[in-house]
Amino acid sequence: MNKPFPFAFTLGAIVIVVLYYLFWDTEEPTQENIVEEEISSPIELFIFSWTHR
C-alpha cells in the first residue's frame, strides 16, 4: 500500500503545477524573458524542461 501513494501524489502535484503554470502563462506573451526571472526553484525548472520539449 506504500507504493501507489507517492506515485499518485507526485503525479497529482505535477498535474496541478502544470495546469497552474499553463493558465498563468497565458497572460504573458513573452514567456522566454519571464522564465529567466521567475523560475528559481528546481521543481519549476524541472517542470518547465518537461513542458517545453
Question: Each residue of 13-53: pLDDT tens digit?
Answer: 898 888 888 776 555 555 555 555 555 567 777 777 777 76
> What is residue 32's three-state secondary structure?
helix
Extract the C-alpha cell encoding 44: 519549476
pTM of structure: 0.36
* Torsion sign (Cα): 23, 26, 28, 33: positive
pLDDT of residue 41: 67
Alpha carbon distance 25, 27 (integer Å): 5
- The C-alpha atoms of residue 23 and residue 1 are separated, in whole angstroms, by 34
Cα gap 38→2, rounded to integer Å: 35
